[in-house]
Structure 1
Amino acid sequence: MIESFGVSSDGIGKWTGICAASFSFCQFLTAITWGRASDRFGRKRTILAGLLCTMITSLMFGFSTTLSLALISRALAGLGGGNGGIIRTATAELVPQKDLQPRAFSIMPLVWTIGSMVGPAMGGMIADPAHKYPLSFGSSSFFLRFPYSAPNLATCCLFVPTIAVGFLFLRETLHTSQNENDVGLHLGRALLRPCSRQINLGQHQPSESVSGFNQQGAHQAVYERPTEHGRARNSLQKSEPPSQLQQFTWKSVFTSQSQINLLQYGLLAMHSVAYDQLLPVLMHHPRSSTAPMSHGRQNWFLFTDGFAMSSSRIGLLLMVNGMVGMVLQFVVFPPTVKKLGVLPCLRVGAIAFVFLYALVPFAALIPSATAREAALLAIMIFKTLLTVFAWPCSTILLTNSATSPGILGTLNGVATSTAAIGRTVGPAMGGAMFTIGLSKGSIVLPWLAIAMMAVLGVIPLFWLRPIRPSARKSEEVANRHDNEDIRVEDEETEPLLTSSKPGTDGRHL
């Protein structure tokens, strides 16, 4: 698409990078605002607004006929692209149970992986149809004028039902907005009523919680059980009124533990995205005529060999890696985290990233092409495994570092901004080091640079600790302005979002 704007082959890489960076930078500028909006106006409204903005800017990008218009559309997409943090917030509020969080937070990366495989494949098939399928679309003046509109029109066809389903069936999870009348939910129930025998299907009492506490203070989930009259009996407990909820302050957002989590989150984005950008370049890079190891051990770091793979071959390996990643995400991750714990899994994975990145370029030294590709695929799958653990674990720790549900959207907005900085800086540094490394005769240099980024990501983990509710409640007591006599439990209990809050039962997952 960039080439169709009249950009020379030498400048395609630069302008592609600028186009991607414009999205990340603008997302950094507005992600916190989107998070604050979700804390004030509700998760559902903000998510639907974000989806609408993304759909409009996608259409703008597809109908761009100049480079400047393409850059503007991507920048606007970044300004409206704050949904990632809000969806993580809603997920945390829908699934407050600690033992269910690993599986819940593994769903988002799983869906992302599916989209990352299907999206590029679909876009590549239907982009520029007038030239790819001249018999069917060769005479279409529309596709001749807007050759890259087809993928974005197809995306729009996916956005419309997504927004409709969200409007009709997505429940509000923000505790202060659950008492408001939701026209979309009422309409959704009316549409489903003919298909259900229970006319009260999906009804929800926002002012009450379906989680209670027994006399010893242990968490006790109470589920609806149908009676002989078709009704449900609930053991309900009144939730804390909004007047007693912690008031928003930036100090409550940037606690010591949340700052460490945010730093680790940004560094993870920096080295992970830098790897994702450089790997296809290394896979396509040609091989040199002389094998480095034939000149002795001293030249092992001075070689410029790539894998010399075709685009179709690269796509095949990426697809296989994505399919394996889906299995790892949903089958391996939840039971492993449940057994070993979130923080230990994150620490082990962060250390393994360092050695993995340093090992990547040396797979190109294997003489056999088959063995070389097999080694590369093994590295890709191992990196996917580490990513499968790193992102959800980091998100869970960040969520549980929030001092109050009322600031959770803002905290995830800050995390989105931090990750956007990492996604901007990481690929820029990796690309610059790749150019410098080739000029010095060493393709190892950029991968060592990414490994050093991963080293920086390990350091904060030594100060990171699981947040215990007793400590969190102590912070809330210190920040309250009234003189209530609040009893702080000494024994270890569940994290923040396992407390009794309206609408936070696990049934909506």
Structure 2
Amino acid sequence: MRDNNNASSSRSGSSNPAMSPNDPSKGGKPEVVTWMSLPHKPQLFILAICRLSEPLSNTCLLPYLYYLIRSLQTSPDTSPASISRQAGLLVSLFAFSQFATSVPWASVANRLGRKPSIVIGLVLSIVSNIGFGFSTSIPAVMCWRVLAGIGNGNTGVMRTMTAEIVKERKYQSRAFLLLPLVFNSGVVIGLALGGCLADPIVNLPWLFGPTGVWNFGKDPEGVAWMRAYPFALPTLFNAAVLSISLFFGVFFLKETMPGKTDHKDYGIVVGEAMKSLYRRIFHKESGSGYGYASLQEEDLGNEVSNQLEPPTPKTPGFGLSITSRAIYTREVLVTIVSFGLLPLHNSAFMQVFPVFLSTPYFKNTSPTALKFNGGLGMSSPTIGLFLSAFGIFGILIQLCIYPSLQAWLGTLRSYRVALAVFPIAYIVAPYLCLIPETNVALQSLGIVCILFLQVTARTFGIPSSVILLTNSAPTPLALGAVHGVGNMISSLARAVGPLIGGVIFGFGHDIGVVGTVWWGYLMVISVLGLAWSWMLKEGERPREMGRGAIELGPARKEVDAEKGEEGEKEALCPK
């Protein structure tokens, strides 16, 4: 790889000597990075399907959240404002638990390894999903949401694992895009199936109703257990998907923590035995024999373990603690603040918007530019399909547009462009309730416009924020701690955001100004985040510089075209 890079740099330098390759990604004709050129694809794939845990556990309930809380109320005259406040609390509990456990998860990952923390988290997610679906009271669903949040407090560990799997900077954009891409996929699945599978006797009568195909007991009111637990089916689906993730995580995911990659993993041993058995049963008569088996091993993740480590001396098997003062540089602190501001309003939108769409329509007789009230009164399947459709849109622009935009503008400028779009969506959103309820086409068009702006902004903003956080780490040993702190702050923001959003939405509904939460909270925080982004720096990926020598900070300078990437490495020096 080094020879190819140097050769490429030499060619670009000879053809256009005036071109300055301060950044190999911008100077000359860099090697084109595609999804297929990513290193360690099987490991990244397994890590990606493990990442499905959070979006499935957290977003599945959003389309039916309003109706779930209404069904669990003991008082029949509960107002939409009260439901909104309880919805905000229920969503916040998940993120509060993530926040409270992100530091312990970072400690577990640094002591036991990255893989055990991911596997334990998946087990907790499966149990909590099943328990949530069969709960029949508000306190019970809140307890299960807390357990689900605990199980998903290891998001920072997954980001750290991505950084340890993919070490070369040229692959960084696509590698760090993978987890948000899978997150969006999980959001799509969770929202669509959450909306459609909730209350299946009503929403899917042809399957589970009185004459439904799967009403084997021929119950005149529909499948009996679904009548008793109308919101269990979406969570059972989540548990089934996460069981598949758990299977691959236990038997095929390899440890990446420096110093632990050579330890014996009995899960991998069993996985290898299963692959051998699979090949003996299904490929016994294959004429290509060993060559075919070799391809199978690579496809299922059986890469040589030392491929996950560079050919440099091993780093000690521990990372810097989050209590270490060495990790809290100015770049890290400024980036962490920005990392927290984005989910502070984005998570609130994800909770407020479905509740706003579910809130009954209110006929405003004499509305003003600021004072009007109500929602759109939509059903949970309609809400789920709208949100999931734009989840698909987010995936498409992540795949097709974001890498090119990031390469053209750079990570920081892409981040600022995304942050500038959020306030526009928040200013316009509340006016949807002024559209007559009979004009479904115009209502749908308005929802499409709001979701287009918001989803585009978050699709560009989230992966950029993760890259900026990674590049702010002063040393590779600080990656786990930096992502642990970042995940803790992000979880706190995602806990506080929906809670505040739900309270302000309820307050605005009570005083007859539904725009209160949109203009007084979401827009204000998004503008603050945009202003704060001018404090950030682009940064460089921290690198190990050999035995005992750790890069503590990037220092850029001009590098001759003939030196290419190696010249850039020589230009870096410790603080």
Cα distance in structure 2, aligned partners of 1:122 and 1:322: 13
Q: Deviation digits for residues 417-449 of structure 1, max 9, x if unmatched?
A: 212221222222223332333344433322112
1:93 aligns with 2:168: no
Q: Tell me if structure 2 keeps the 8 A contact 1:57–1:73.
A: yes
Q: Secondary structure at the match of 1:177?
A: coil
Comparing 57-66 with 137-146, greater Cα deviation is found at 137-146
Q: Residue 537 of structure 2 corresponds to which residue in structure 1?
A: 465
Change (3 A) 1:379 1:126: closer
Matched, 1:192 2:275: yes
> 1:58 offset after TM fit, Å?
1.8
**Are the structure 2 counterparts of residues 48 and 302 from structure 1 closer, same or farther at C-alpha, using a change threshold of 3 Å?**
same
Structure 2 CA distance for partners of 1:53 and 1:315, relative to 1, 3 Å: closer
| 1:420 matched residue in structure 2 | 491
Normalization by structure 1: what TM-score?
0.78
Counterpart of 2:427? 358
Counterpart of 1:252 in structure 2 is: 326
Contact 1:291 1:365 in 2 (8 A): no
Pick one of 327, 333, 350 that aligns with 1:276.
Answer: 350
Question: Structure 1 residue 388: deviation in Å?
Answer: 0.4
User: Which residue matches 2:402?
Assistant: 333
- In structure 2, what is the equivalent of residue 504 of structure 1? none
- RMSD over aligned Cα, in angstroms? 3.6
In structure 1, C-alpha distance between the alignment counterparts of 2:267 and 2:318, rounded to whole Å: 29
Deviation digits for residues 56-81 of structure 1 (CA, Å, limit 9, x no counterpart): 22222223344333222221222222
Q: Is the 8 A contact 2:105 2:117 kept in 1?
A: yes
Q: Distance in 2 between matches of 1:457 and 1:15?
A: 27
- Counting only pairs closer than 5 Å after superposition, residues 258-337 of structure 1 correspond to structure 2 as 258-285=332-359, 286-290=361-365, 292=367, 299-304=368-373, 306-307=375-376, 309-337=378-406
Partner of 2:241: 158
Distance 1:120 1:358, change over 3 A: closer
1:503 aligns to what? none
CA separation of 1:289 and 1:5: change in aligned 2, threshold 3 A: closer
Residue type at the aligned position of 1:197:
Y
Aligned to 2:260: 177
Verify: 1:20 aligned to 2:87, yes or no: no
Which residue number in structure 2 is paired with residue 30 of structure 1?
101
> Retained in 1: the 8 A contact 2:84–2:503?
no
Number of residue pairs the alignment of both structures matches: 459
Distance 1:146 1:271 in 2: 32
Task: Give the aligned residue type for 1:7.
Answer: T
What is the alpha-carbon distance in structure 1 between the residues aligned to residue 554 and residue 156 of structure 2?
32
Residue of structure 1 in register with 2:184 after alignment:
113
Larger deviation: 84-93 or 316-325?
A: 316-325
Task: Return 5+ residue gaps in structure 1 as ranges.
Answer: 212-236, 293-298, 481-485, 500-509
- Distance apart, 1:33 and its partner CA: 0.9
- 1:133 alignment partner in structure 2: 209
Shift of 1:104: 2.3
Q: 1:69 to 1:174 in 2, by over 3 A?
A: same
Q: State the distance in 2 between where 1:244 and 1:432 align.
A: 43
Alignment partner, residue 220 of structure 1: none
Q: Displacement, 1:124?
A: 4.8
* Distance in 2 of aligned mates of 1:487 and 1:86: 24
In 2, the alpha carbon distance for the partners of 1:311 and 1:57 equals 22
In the TM superposition, residue 29 of structure 1 has moved relative to its aligned partner by 0.8
C-alpha distance 6-309 of structure 1, shift in aligned 2 (>3 A) = closer
Letter matched to residue 370 of structure 2: F
**Aligned positions of 1:54-93 closer than 5 A:** 54-93=125-164
**C-alpha separation in 2, matches of 1:243 and 1:148:** 45
Query: Residues 373 and 489 of structure 1: is their aligned pair in 2 closer, same or farther, counting only changes over 3 Å?
Result: closer
Q: State the shift of 1:347 in Å.
A: 1.3
CA distance in 1, matches of 2:92, 2:136: 20
In structure 1, C-alpha distance between the alignment counterparts of 2:260 and 2:375, rounded to whole Å: 55
CA distance in 1: counterparts of 2:350 and 2:364, whole angstroms: 27
- Residue aligned with 1:238, SS: coil
Match of 2:290, SS state, is coil
Cα distance change of structure 1 residues 410 and 343 upon mapping to structure 2, 3 Å threshold = same
2:525 matched to which residue of 1?
A: 453
Amino acid at match of 1:276: M
Moved more, 299-308 or 131-140: 131-140
The 1:138/1:394 distance shift into structure 2, 3 A limit, reads: farther
- The change in CA–CA distance for 1:461 and 1:138 in structure 2 (over 3 A counts) is farther
1:149 positional shift: 3.8
Deviation, 1:304, is 2.6
Aligned-pair distance for 1:52? 0.9
Q: Give distance in 2, aligned partners of 1:163 and 1:400.
A: 30
8 A Cα contact 2:161 2:256, kept in partner: yes
Say if 2:331 and 2:537, in contact at 8 Å, map to a contact too.
Answer: yes
Change (3 A) 1:245 1:113: closer
Provide Cα deviations, 1:272-313, integer angstroms capped at 9, x if missing partner.
111222223333442434364xxxxxx322233644545454
Partners of 2:258 and 2:318 within 8 A in 1: no
Once residues 40 and 446 of structure 1 are traced to their aligned partners in structure 2, the CA distance between those partners, rounded to angstroms, is 43
Q: Is the 8 A contact 1:470 1:489 kept in 2?
A: no
Partner of 2:117: 46
CA spacing shift, 1:257–1:477, aligned 2, 3 Å: farther
CA distance, structure 1, for counterparts of residue 505 and residue 534 of structure 2: 31
Q: 2: distance between equivalents of 1:50 and 1:13?
A: 29
What is the letter of the counterpart of residue 8 of structure 1? S
User: Which of 450, 453, 459 pairs up with 1:382?
Assistant: 453
Q: Secondary structure at the match of 2:416?
A: helix
Provide the residue aligned with 1:102 in structure 2: 173
Q: Distance in 2 between matches of 1:187 and 1:282?
A: 49
CA distance in 1, matches of 2:319, 2:145: 38
Q: Provide, for residues 40-65 of structure 1, a one-character-per-residue CA deviation record: whole Å limited to 9, x for no partner.
A: 22111111111011112222222334
Question: Which SS does the other structure have where 1:411 is aligned?
Answer: helix
Flag the 1:71–1:90 CA change in 2: closer, same or farther, 3 A: same
1:187-228 alpha-carbon deviations (Å, 9 max, x no partner): 3233334257246645555457775xxxxxxxxxxxxxxxxx
Give 1:170 shift. 1.2
Corresponding residue to 1:7 among 46, 50, 74: 74
CA distance in 2, matches of 1:245, 1:65: 44
The structural deviation recorded for 1:241 is 4.0
